[in-house]
Amino acid sequence: MNPTNTKNTDGGQKNIEQDKIEDLKISFRGSVLPAGTHGYDQARKIWNGMFDRKPALIVRCVGTSDVIQAVNFARHNDLEISVKGGGHNSAGTAVCDDGLMIDLSLMRRVTVNQEKKTARVDGGCLLGDVDSETQLYGLAVSAGIVSHTGVGGLVLGGGFGWISRKHGLSVDNLISAEVVTAKGQLVTASERENPDLFWGIRGGGGNFGIVTSFEFKCADIGREVYSGLIVKDFSDARKYMQFHRDYVRTLPDEMTVWMVARHAPPLPFLPDDVHGKMVVIIPFVWLGEPEEGEKYIKPIREVTKSLGEGLGMHPWVGWQSGFDGLVGHGARNYWKSHHLKNLSDACIDQVVDFAGRLPSEECEVFIPHMEGVPSRTSENETAFSHRSTPFVLNIHTRWQTAENDEKCLAWAREFHAKTKDFASGVYVNFLSQEGEDRIKDAYTGDAWDRLVAVKNTWDPENRFHMNQNIKPSI
Ligand SMILES: Cc1cc2nc3c(=O)[nH]c(=O)nc-3n(C[C@H](O)[C@H](O)[C@H](O)COP(=O)(O)OP(=O)(O)OC[C@H]3O[C@@H](n4cnc5c(N)ncnc54)[C@H](O)[C@@H]3O)c2cc1C
C-alpha cells in the first residue's frame, strides 16, 4: 500500500456549515482554519512528505479550553479527529482527510521546578523546547534524539534516547498528565488519579484522549556530556557489528553506544573524500567523568580502523540538535522496524547486505542498543512492552521524489522481511500503516487486553482512531 494513496474511509467528505464555524470562533482563542484560508496549507503539513491530506477544518489550539472545544465540535458534527503534536509520526497519523485536525503545535510552554526537579510540558512541545528550558538548571527529561520531534507522540508511545538506559524511558519519568477525554472532559492521569488511564497513556499512544500537559521527573545531567561519533569504513561493517553486539551489552547504564549505517554526511572531522561514502557511524553518550568514559570507548577505536572521530564535551542542547539536519521536514519517508532478539551472524549478514545497497543517499539503517534501566522495570508498570529486547532495527527509508517510491518501499519491505526471523516485537512509534496485527506486535498479550479495557472505558466510540489504533471491544 502506498501511504499517499491511503484515504481513511472512516471520514468521508464533510461540509461543515459556516454558521457552526463562526460559532466556534467566538470562544476559540487559537485559529480556526477551513480549507483555503491563509495558514491552512502550512498547518496541514507534517514531517513526512508522503502525506498530502486535506482536513475539512484545522484548529490551532493555544490552551486547554481550545482543545476541549475542538473535541466537542468534532463530536457534535461527527467529524473524524486527527491530533498533531510535533507532526513527526512517520505513519502520517497527525493529519486526516476531510475531518478535524486538532493542531497542538502552538501549545509549547515548559515550566521547570528546579527544587523538585520536575518539568510541566505542554502537549504541543517539541523536544528542543524541553531541553532548552530544563538545561537552564542542568536538567533533562529522558526523551528522543532529534530536537524537532514532538513530545506528545513520542512520550505516549514510550520515548527513548541517549539517557534512557540510565534514567528510564520517557514514560518511566511521567508523573502525571492532563488529558481531554473523548467526551470533552479534562481529567488528571497519575498513579493516584485515574490509574488505568495513566497506565494506558504510557505506551498506548494517542488512543485515549488529548494530553494538554505532561509532568515529568527530570534527570540531573549537567550542561555538557562526554559524547561523540566514531566513523568506520563500511568494508569492515561485518567485523565491527560482530564486536558491537557483545561489547555494548557489557557497558554500564551510563554509556549508550548505537550504530548507524549510511552515507557519510559532510562532518567537519572527516576527510573530504569520505563525505558521501558508505560508513558505519558509532554515536555515543557517556553520563559521567570524561576520563572514565574514554576508557569505555577505547575498544571501539581498536577493533577496526576509524575514518575519523569527533569526541569531547558537548553542550547537551547542541548534541540533541546535532542530527536535526539529517532528518529535516518534507522529504518522503518510510520506516520499517522491529526489535531484535540478538545480532546473530546471520542477522548481521542481512544488515550488511541491505545497508550495502541503500536505495537513496539519505536512507539509513539505525540500530540502537536498549537494555539498562527500562529492561529492569517490570513489564506491567506501563503499556510500553518488550522492555528486555536488546536491540532495535529501524530501517529509515528516505528520499525526495515520488518516482523513487516503488524502489525505496520495496527495499525496506524486503529488508524487513529478511530480518523477521531475528525479531521479537516492535516499538509502536516506529510503525508505518501496517494493520492491527502489527500494532498488536508492539505489546504483550496481557498489555493488549488491558489497553482494550482502557479504551472501552475512555473512548468506547473510538473517536481517537487516527493513531496506531486500539479498537474498543464494546
Ligand atoms: C526525525 C525523528 C526522530 C525520532 N527520534 C525518536 C527517538 O529518538 N526516540 C523515540 O522514542 N522516538 C523517536 N521518533 C519517533 C517518534 O516517537 C514518533 O514519530 C512520534 O509519534 C512523534 O511524535 P509527534 O508528536 O512529533 O508526532 P505526531 O505525528 O504529531 O503525533 C503522532 C500521534 O501521537 C498522538 N499525539 C501526539 N501528541 C498528542 C497529544 N498531546 N495528546 C494526545 N495524542 C497525541 C496522535 O495520535 C498522533 O497521531 C522519531 C521520529 C522522527 C520522525
> Could you tell me how many residues make up the chain?
474
CA distance 23 to 179: 24
For residue 146 and ligand 1, the question of a CB distance below 6 A is answered with yes
Q: What is the pLDDT of residues 270-308, one digit of tens each?
A: 999 999 999 999 999 999 999 999 999 999 999 999 999
- In the chain, % of residues over pLDDT 70: 97
Q: What is the pLDDT of residues 357-391, one digit of tens each?
A: 999 999 999 999 999 999 999 999 999 999 999 99
Strand partners, 224: 315
For residue 153 and ligand 1, the question of a CB distance below 6 A is answered with yes
> Could you tell me the pLDDT band of residue 8, with boundaries at 50, 70 and 90?
very low
In the three-class reduction of DSSP (H, G, I as helix; E, B as strand; rest coil), residue 458 is classed as helix
Pocket of ligand 1, candidates 429, 430, 431, 466: which has the most ligand atoms within 8 Å of its Cβ, to mutate?
429
Which pLDDT value is given to residue 4?
Answer: 32
Does position 2 have pLDDT exceeding 80, yes or no? no
Which residue shows C-alpha cell 495513566?
198
In CATH terms, 15-103 corresponds, of 3.30.43.10, 3.30.40.10, 3.40.50.1100, 3.40.605.10, to 3.30.43.10
Taking alpha carbons only, the member of 205, 256, 249, 199 closest to residue 379 is 199
How far, in Å, is the centroid of ligand 1 from the Cα of 257? 23
How far, in Å, is the centroid of ligand 1 from the Cα of 20? 31
Confirm if 89 and 429 have CB atoms less than 8 A apart.
yes
Fold of 110-221+445-458: 3.30.465
Q: What is the pLDDT of residues 109-143, one digit of tens each?
A: 999 999 999 999 999 999 999 999 999 999 999 99
Does position 11 have pLDDT exceeding 70, yes or no? no
Domains 110-221+445-458 and 224-430 share a fold: no
Where do the structural domains in the chain lie, given as residue ranges? Answer: 15-103, 110-221+445-458, 224-430
Does position 449 have pLDDT exceeding 50, yes or no? yes
How far, in Å, is the centroid of ligand 1 from the Cα of 161? 13
Which pLDDT value is given to residue 14?
Answer: 67
| Atom nearest to 212 CA in ligand 1 | 41
Does position 7 have pLDDT exceeding 60, yes or no? no
How far, in Å, is the centroid of ligand 1 from the Cα of 149? 6
**C-alpha cell of residue 192:** 493516584
Region 239-267: mean pLDDT is 98
| Atom nearest to 86 CA in ligand 1 | 26
Which pLDDT value is given to residue 1?
Answer: 33
How far, in Å, is the centroid of ligand 1 from the Cα of 294? 33
Which pLDDT value is given to residue 15?
Answer: 80
| Atom nearest to 84 CA in ligand 1 | 30
Fold of 224-430: Vanillyl-alcohol Oxidase; Chain A, domain 3 (3.40.462)
Region 230-237: mean pLDDT is 98
For residue 159 and ligand 1, the question of a CB distance below 6 A is answered with yes
Confirm if 307 and 271 have CB atoms less than 8 A apart.
yes
For residue 467 and ligand 1, the question of a CB distance below 6 A is answered with yes
Region 311-333: mean pLDDT is 97
**C-alpha cell of residue 448:** 493488549
> Could you tell me the pLDDT band of residue 404, with boundaries at 50, 70 and 90?
very high
Which of 6-20, 154-168, 325-339 is predicted with the least confidence, judged by mean pLDDT? 6-20
Q: What is the pLDDT of residues 41-87, one digit of tens each?
A: 999 999 999 999 999 999 999 999 999 999 999 999 999 999 999 99
Region 175-203: mean pLDDT is 98
Which pLDDT value is given to residue 144?
Answer: 98
In sign, the C-alpha dihedral spanning 314, 315, 318, 320 is positive
How far, in Å, is the centroid of ligand 1 from the Cα of 214? 14
